[in-house]
Amino acid sequence: MTNKGREFEIERYRIDQEPFYVESQGEVGLFTTAAQNRMPVMLKGPTGCGKTRFVQHMAYRLGRPLITVACHEDLTASDLVGRYLLRGQETVWIDGPLTLGVKHGAIVYLDEIVEARKDTTVIIHPLTDDRRLLPIEKKGQIIEAVDEFLLVISYNPGYQSVLKDLKQSTKQRFVAIEFDYPAPAVETRIIEREAGVTGEVARALVKLGEKVRNLKHHGLEEGVSTRLLVYAGTLIRQGVEPGRACEVSVARPITDDADMQRTIGELIKAVF
Amino acid sequence: MTNKGREFEIERYRIDQEPFYVESQGEVGLFTTAAQNRMPVMLKGPTGCGKTRFVQHMAYRLGRPLITVACHEDLTASDLVGRYLLRGQETVWIDGPLTLGVKHGAIVYLDEIVEARKDTTVIIHPLTDDRRLLPIEKKGQIIEAVDEFLLVISYNPGYQSVLKDLKQSTKQRFVAIEFDYPAPAVETRIIEREAGVTGEVARALVKLGEKVRNLKHHGLEEGVSTRLLVYAGTLIRQGVEPGRACEVSVARPITDDADMQRTIGELIKAVF
Amino acid sequence: MTNKGREFEIERYRIDQEPFYVESQGEVGLFTTAAQNRMPVMLKGPTGCGKTRFVQHMAYRLGRPLITVACHEDLTASDLVGRYLLRGQETVWIDGPLTLGVKHGAIVYLDEIVEARKDTTVIIHPLTDDRRLLPIEKKGQIIEAVDEFLLVISYNPGYQSVLKDLKQSTKQRFVAIEFDYPAPAVETRIIEREAGVTGEVARALVKLGEKVRNLKHHGLEEGVSTRLLVYAGTLIRQGVEPGRACEVSVARPITDDADMQRTIGELIKAVF
Amino acid sequence: MTNKGREFEIERYRIDQEPFYVESQGEVGLFTTAAQNRMPVMLKGPTGCGKTRFVQHMAYRLGRPLITVACHEDLTASDLVGRYLLRGQETVWIDGPLTLGVKHGAIVYLDEIVEARKDTTVIIHPLTDDRRLLPIEKKGQIIEAVDEFLLVISYNPGYQSVLKDLKQSTKQRFVAIEFDYPAPAVETRIIEREAGVTGEVARALVKLGEKVRNLKHHGLEEGVSTRLLVYAGTLIRQGVEPGRACEVSVARPITDDADMQRTIGELIKAVF
Amino acid sequence: MTNKGREFEIERYRIDQEPFYVESQGEVGLFTTAAQNRMPVMLKGPTGCGKTRFVQHMAYRLGRPLITVACHEDLTASDLVGRYLLRGQETVWIDGPLTLGVKHGAIVYLDEIVEARKDTTVIIHPLTDDRRLLPIEKKGQIIEAVDEFLLVISYNPGYQSVLKDLKQSTKQRFVAIEFDYPAPAVETRIIEREAGVTGEVARALVKLGEKVRNLKHHGLEEGVSTRLLVYAGTLIRQGVEPGRACEVSVARPITDDADMQRTIGELIKAVF
Amino acid sequence: MTNKGREFEIERYRIDQEPFYVESQGEVGLFTTAAQNRMPVMLKGPTGCGKTRFVQHMAYRLGRPLITVACHEDLTASDLVGRYLLRGQETVWIDGPLTLGVKHGAIVYLDEIVEARKDTTVIIHPLTDDRRLLPIEKKGQIIEAVDEFLLVISYNPGYQSVLKDLKQSTKQRFVAIEFDYPAPAVETRIIEREAGVTGEVARALVKLGEKVRNLKHHGLEEGVSTRLLVYAGTLIRQGVEPGRACEVSVARPITDDADMQRTIGELIKAVF
């Protein structure tokens, strides 16, 4: 508890405890091979299916620090590479997350890369060539990545639009591993563990998750993530009535449509 | 009175007096459970139905400071996280409201989050993961939130449009509590108390409120808030003729449409 | 006269002479009540119907300074709240007009609020809550408004469009007083007084004004303001032929449409 | 001649020689009356019909300096009002053209005001009220205009579009004087004088001008300005063949349309 | 050769060697007359027809320095006029290209003026009035142009669109000289001279040029420039097979359309 | 290995080892001739067909440094030319990549030039004229390029749109060499060499590549690059099952379309 609230040094990006992750289709081996051969990796899949947890797990397994950057449309190349800052009377250079990773051999994870501005997207091009270089224009320098550096991006194909899509000249620099929601047995184990509920409750929640995800073909924008099912489980463990717990954790967050909320409400009743 | 007009220190975000709030459907318990389990909370509901008052009430009950940020399309990530400022010859770092809350265990309330720029929305992602981290890129640091930190956002589904909607990858990080206008008995108590009017006047105003809110299905953009009913009550207490008080507090502010104003005018006459 | 051209100190926002204003429907009493109860006020009405003059009059009557800000789409929150400025070697904080008013108990009048950027609009939200707070993010401070502070906005419903409209969550924070052009007798007195013309000339001008304003239902964008009628009167007093005076003061400024100008020309001939 | 190329002090805005101008419909008297009564003036009319020359002429007649600002969409309020600048180690305030005029009693001429950004347009509002104030937000000051200050704007109704139009609340602050191309006798005198050609050549050019301006009703975007006719005259005086002189001075500059150029070519042949 | 790579002082804008130029329709005399009479000049014509070479030639003939500015949509007024720069501890003013030309009597050539931002376009207005003034707002100064200063702009009517067009109030300040591709005999001489090929090869290339330019009426965006024909000649002189030389110098650069490239390929075969 | 992670000096842009490249249609000779005659070169062709590798190869052969700039819509002219930077108390000028190349005789390769902002595109105009000048506006200087400087741009015609296209006045400054995917025998050699697989595996991958590229006429956005085939080969060499290796290296990265992925899956099965 004394640990909380103070500022961490940048090398603390290393993950000390093994993040819980259950493999589904050989992705651990594939990622390991890619990392050993310095091949950039793209994680494809819907919201909340475990991409972020997987990369945390792999960073732990490979013993490399993990630097995560949530991309957005105002993220500049400088935000990634670094900038000069005034500190009192002195100007000091602060390495950005990408430069940090390139120098110290971290996994740099650019989450939702399609959201980034084009200059951010393009800065990774020379890093994904066989020469693995990062030009730092502001310092007139060029850095070669250490062997342990690995670039990983996530990409949700469902979001793709004309305005926000990766260029082929970017896409074709990555090995792509596809993700989907965990299999029922796996998801049950996750919920049991993270929400601290019985197997029975966990199985009911997984069943609800499956039913809600099927609604995606009937107008629901996106299926429910494992995280929200864990939220529901946690509330149930704390004594919240299961129907209410699922309403506030599942039905309300994922849709504003009254009909869809009613439909999900009936699914909740059917399960509990 | 001597207190007014001077500048408050930042730790004065603590609320000293209990804000008046009447619970309607178990939201106090739910919020408390979520807060104890470090689950981010989304408050959903129309304008002026009591979301802001509820979060003030909960901050008081839980004994945590409340930092409110009214989101808008020019709010930058730096506005939330902090920035270096020149003070005379020195450069000093000023924590933004989010950093303040993360360090000192406050409830940070991002009001009308859909109005914010995307970089502002995305900065809350690592804070709503299970590791609860806030990266401060400008300082090359990463802060872990103290246990008392709680992120709360408000969201009015009626405002949602293609351009301004929360991404599913943001939505699915929150437990969502739905709000609506207070029940008649509750709203009557609020108006009696806050406007200082008799129960009879308060009941008449609540009746007017109900009738006006029903117009939402007949072309009115948004129902009338409890706040405007309190304004009307206050004017009546000060001797303004009730019809005129309701005209300037209810009919005029909520619509510019002449027909709709006439309709509301007739509702006013029917009630008083 | 020796007074002109020098720079005034900021506390000179106080109005020394009573601005001429003729009440039409109890707005003086309503505004006074609202001011005493710290209720924000919205003045609704067309261009040039006397909203600005009214607020000047009320500031004089209530003995409070009046700080007027003409809103526009590039007005930033910093323009209202204040900013740090370099003065020689020193950095000094300069309070913006809103902070000035909040500290010293002025009426702050945001003219044509719909023109403002969203961050400007949103900054007034916590000031119009019951806690009446102004956060100054740049200084990491929060100021509570003194009791004499009053926020007043003007709003021309005729301008409203999809792009430029006040959000309901902003509108529903104000008591709204509606304005229209002054009644004939009142407008005649104003023109007599301000243009220095006889009652006969003033009455003719008022008649012209009425006829021109009726054209609004026949394609004229906006009626003629009292100010332009005063201009016409002034030119007539200076010896300009009445028809020419009305042409340059009324017909030419308010429309570029040749047919409409011809129609107004005929109205001018009919009156003089 | 030794005078050229050196930098003038700002007070040199005074016009020493009488600019040649021939009055057409009493505009000299009207402008003088408006100036004496501190009424802002709008000059309306097409490109190149003499608005700029008229305001130069009036500045000379009234003995006031003339500060002209060509408005454009990137002109900021600071460009007009002034700003702090670093000069070596010192920060100095530089008055913008509007502040200069307000302090020293100049005519400030905002040419093509519709091109300006909205914050530029709005800054003139308090200057065109009866209190004639210019707030300088950056300095926390407010300046009252001296009596000799006069605001003049030009406005070409032909340019008006939905995106670029003056708001009624701006328009209705000005007396509007309408301009058109000079009458034939007047334009002949101008060309004789400025191009140094004989009356015969000048009359031919005026005839050509009239014919070209009539094409405006047949698809020509804008009529030919007196300035271009003066250019043609100058080239003719220098020995350029009249047909070629008119082609490069009239036909080529005003249209890119091949058919329209051919039509103008035939008009040239008909006249010379 | 030792000369290369070092930095030239700004007065080196003078052209020491006569640029090769063959007059076609009296443009040398016209330009000279305009320059002597301080009339701004617009050069109209398609890409690569010799406008830039002509202005270089005229600068040499008139013995004036030539300052060329390639306009683009991010060119600011400050880029043209100048700005204060920090040099070590000192702030120094650096004249922009326009100010340099205005002070020292250069020809300032704004290439493709329609690409410039509006504030850049408008800054030339007072320079093209009869008073020839350049206001330097940042320094609070106003400079009168020396007699040798001449403003020249280029303008490609084929590019014109609704968004990118010169305003009439800008166009009508210039004498306009129209350019087209050189006549066959002239173009042959240019290619012989610049590519160092025989007359036979040069004539073949000119023939190809003519045929390709005729395709403009059949869907080709723009004709082939003399420069590209010179490139083709140079490659041929260096031993590249003529068909291949024309393919890479003519067909490939000017179009991406496969059918059009095939058509040009057949024209190449027909000529060589 | 000790070499990795440290910062390279800017002159390290020289390529020490010959990049593997197999010529297909005389492009080595053409490029050499163009370089010797200082003719700017445009490389046209689809993503991943070897343009970047070719320019690296040529830089090695010609013994010139290679400076690559990945263009994007936020790349400014200053990013290319250079800027003043504060270093402690001193202001130092840092040459941008273009200035570096112009001074020291490098090949400057602007990759995907159509992505750049217009000011970036236009800055190369004077460098591609026969005078080969680079104006450095910020320093008030103009630099003549050394003979060894060569400007090379890449351009993917398939990307071209109305919004993002090179202007003819830019295009017509370059000799254009067209590229396509390598011939089967060449591509086989590349894959054998770079992935370290047998000829049999390499040939199978080339066959797959051909089949996938044919899908471009059936709705696939872009064919598969040689790089992705090398990725597949590398995974196969590391023991990944060929079908899975091709799925993650070919099918997943290049398309999000489920039908297209299935089609590619069948092609993979047919080949392995």
Name the nearest CA neighbour of C199 among C211, C187, C210, C209: C187
Q: Which residues from chain D sit within 8 angstroms of residue E175, using beta carbons?
A: 231, 235, 248-249, 253
Contacting subunits of E (3+ beta carbon pairs below 8 A):
D, F
For residues C62 and C171, membership in a common domain is answered with yes
Is pLDDT of B7 > 70?
Answer: no
- Shortest Cα–Cα distance, E75 to chain D (Å): 12
pLDDT of residue A123: 85
For residues B63 and B156, membership in a common domain is answered with yes
For residues B153 and B97, membership in a common domain is answered with yes
Which tens digit of pLDDT belongs to each residue from C114-127? 878 776 788 898 89
Question: Does D47 touch chain E if contact means CB atoms closer than 8 Å?
Answer: yes
What's the whole-number average pLDDT of chain E? 87
Provide the percentage of residues in chain D whose pLDDT is more than 90: 56
For residues F70 and F20, membership in a common domain is answered with yes
Which tens digit of pLDDT belongs to each residue from F174-199? 999 999 999 999 999 999 999 999 99
Q: How far apart are CA C225 and CA B154, in angstroms?
A: 43
Q: How far apart are CA A106 and CA A99, in angstroms?
A: 10
Residue type at position F17: Q
Q: How many residues does chain A have?
A: 272
Question: Does B262 touch chain C if contact means CB atoms closer than 8 Å?
Answer: no
Please, where are the H alpha helices in chain B?
Answer: 27-36, 51-62, 77-81, 97-104, 118-122, 125-128, 168-171, 184-195, 199-214, 226-237, 242-246, 252-254, 258-271
Is pLDDT of E149 > 50?
Answer: yes
pLDDT of residue D203: 97
Is pLDDT of B163 > 60?
Answer: no
Q: How far apart are CA B210 and CA B204, in angstroms?
A: 10
Closest residue in B to A232 (Cα) is B175
Is pLDDT of B256 > 50?
Answer: yes
Q: Among B35-44, D31-40, E126-135, F202-211, which is the least confidently predicted range?
A: E126-135
Contacting subunits of F (3+ beta carbon pairs below 8 A):
A, E
What's the whole-number average pLDDT of chain D? 87
Question: Does C169 touch chain B if contact means CB atoms closer than 8 Å?
Answer: yes
pLDDT of residue C2: 37
pLDDT of residue C6: 41
Question: Does E2 touch chain D if contact means CB atoms closer than 8 Å?
Answer: no
What's the whole-number average pLDDT of chain C? 86
Which tens digit of pLDDT belongs to each residue from F112-165? 888 787 767 888 988 998 889 998 877 767 899 999 999 999 988 765 454 567
State the pLDDT confidence band at E92, using cuts at 50, 70 and 90: confident
Is pLDDT of F172 > 70?
Answer: yes
Q: Between chains, do C144 and B12 touch, taking CB under 8 Å as contact?
A: no
Q: Residues B167-192: what's their mean pLDDT?
A: 92
State the pLDDT confidence band at F2, using cuts at 50, 70 and 90: very low
End-to-end CA distance of chain F: 37
Question: Does D134 touch chain C if contact means CB atoms closer than 8 Å?
Answer: no
Q: Between chains, do B231 and C175 touch, taking CB under 8 Å as contact?
A: yes
Q: Among C55-69, C195-209, E109-123, which is the least confidently predicted range?
A: E109-123
For residues B217 and B174, membership in a common domain is answered with no
pLDDT of residue D87: 61
pLDDT of residue B177: 94
Q: Which residues from chain E sit within 8 angstroms of residue F172, using beta carbons?
A: 47-48, 222, 224-225, 227-228, 253-254
Q: Between chains, do C5 and D104 touch, taking CB under 8 Å as contact?
A: yes
Q: Which residues from chain B sit within 8 angstroms of residue C124, using beta carbons?
A: none
Is pLDDT of B23 > 50?
Answer: yes
Provide the percentage of residues in chain C whose pLDDT is more than 90: 56
For residues E114 and E247, membership in a common domain is answered with no
Q: Residues E167-180: what's their mean pLDDT?
A: 90
pLDDT of residue A115: 79
- Of the partner residues C143, C147, C177, the one whose CB lies closest to the CB of residue B7: C143
Instruction: Give the residue, D4 or A199, on which the prediction is more confident.
Output: A199
Q: Residues D57-66: what's their mean pLDDT?
A: 95
Which tens digit of pLDDT belongs to each residue from B230-249? 999 999 999 999 999 999 99
For residues D225 and D155, membership in a common domain is answered with no
Q: Between chains, do C146 and B4 touch, taking CB under 8 Å as contact?
A: yes
pLDDT of residue B158: 66
Q: Among A192-201, C93-102, C216-225, which is the least confidently predicted range?
A: C216-225
Q: How far apart are CA F24 and CA F21, in angstroms?
A: 9
Is pLDDT of C1 > 50?
Answer: no
CB-based contacts of B264-270 (< 8 A; 24+ apart in sequence): B264/B212, B264/B215, B267/B208, B267/B211, B267/B212, B268/B208, B268/B242, B268/B243, B269/B243, B270/B211
Of the ranges B93-97, B203-207, D164-168, the best mean pLDDT one: B203-207
Whether chain C lies against chain F with 3 or more Cβ pairs closer than 8 A is no
Which tens digit of pLDDT belongs to each residue from D214-224? 998 777 888 89
Name the nearest CA neighbour of A264 among A233, A227, A234, A221: A221
For residues A238 and A117, membership in a common domain is answered with no
Q: How far apart are CA B219 and CA B216, in angstroms?
A: 6
Provide the token pair at E154.
Answer: 């280029």
Q: Residues C80-97: what's their mean pLDDT?
A: 76
State the pLDDT confidence band at C209, using cuts at 50, 70 and 90: very high
pLDDT of residue D88: 58
pLDDT of residue F7: 41
Instruction: Give the residue, E47 or C32, on which the prediction is more confident.
Output: C32
Provide the percentage of residues in chain A whose pLDDT is more than 70: 90
Place of tokens 């709005």: D122
- Shortest Cα–Cα distance, F224 to chain E (Å): 21
E197 neighbors E233 (Cβ within 8 angstroms) = yes
**Whole-angstrom Cα Rg for chain D:** 21
Q: Please state the pTM of the whole predicted model.
A: 0.77
User: Total structural domains in chain D?
Assistant: 2
pLDDT of residue E49: 85
For residues E14 and E144, membership in a common domain is answered with yes
Which tens digit of pLDDT belongs to each residue from D11-45? 678 888 899 898 888 999 999 999 999 999 999 98
pLDDT of residue F99: 93
Which tens digit of pLDDT belongs to each residue from A223-243? 899 999 999 999 999 999 999
Q: Between chains, do F30 and E254 touch, taking CB under 8 Å as contact?
A: no
Q: Residues B154-179: what's their mean pLDDT?
A: 79
State the pLDDT confidence band at C86, using cuts at 50, 70 and 90: low
* Whole-number Cα distances in Å, E34 to E101, E107, F14: 17, 12, 51
For residues E217 and E174, membership in a common domain is answered with no
For residues A23 and A128, membership in a common domain is answered with yes
Pick from D131, D155, D178: which residue ends a domain? Answer: D178
pLDDT of residue F3: 40
Is pLDDT of A38 > 90?
Answer: yes
pLDDT of residue D3: 40
Q: Residues A11-36: what's their mean pLDDT?
A: 89
Q: Between chains, do C137 and B252 touch, taking CB under 8 Å as contact?
A: no
CATH of the domain at B105: 3.40.50.300
Q: Which residues from chain F sit within 8 angstroms of residue E227, using beta carbons?
A: 172-173
State the pLDDT confidence band at E3, using cuts at 50, 70 and 90: very low
Cβ count within 10 A of residue B73:
14
Pick from A178, A212, A243: which residue ends a domain? Answer: A178
Pick from E133, E159, E178: which residue ends a domain? Answer: E178
Reduce the DSSP state of residue F163 to 3 states and report it.
Answer: coil
Question: Does F17 touch chain E if contact means CB atoms closer than 8 Å?
Answer: no
pLDDT of residue A195: 95
Q: Between chains, do F125 and E231 touch, taking CB under 8 Å as contact?
A: no
Is pLDDT of E168 > 80?
Answer: yes
Domain that holds residue D238: 184-271
Whether chain C lies against chain E with 3 or more Cβ pairs closer than 8 A is no
Cβ count within 10 A of residue E6:
11
Whether chain B lies against chain A with 3 or more Cβ pairs closer than 8 A is yes
Place of tokens 């140079």: E234
Q: Which residues from chain C sit within 8 angstroms of residue D139, using beta carbons?
A: 7, 94
Burial of D163 (0-12, 13-18, 19+ CB in 10 A): exposed
Listed by number, the residues of chain D in 183-242 with a beta carbon closer than 8 Å to a beta carbon of chain C are: none
pLDDT of residue F1: 32
pLDDT of residue E6: 40
pLDDT of residue A134: 92
Q: Among C78-82, D176-180, F142-146, F267-271, which is the least confidently predicted range?
A: C78-82
D143 neighbors D136 (Cβ within 8 angstroms) = yes
pLDDT of residue F169: 83
For residues D28 and D102, membership in a common domain is answered with yes
* Whole-number Cα distances in Å, F225 to A44, A100, F158: 20, 30, 15
Contacting subunits of B (3+ beta carbon pairs below 8 A):
A, C
Is pLDDT of D5 > 50?
Answer: no
Instruction: Give the residue, D159 or C250, on which the prediction is more confident.
Output: C250
Is pLDDT of E210 > 70?
Answer: yes
Question: Does C168 touch chain B if contact means CB atoms closer than 8 Å?
Answer: yes
Q: Between chains, do A74 and B104 touch, taking CB under 8 Å as contact?
A: no
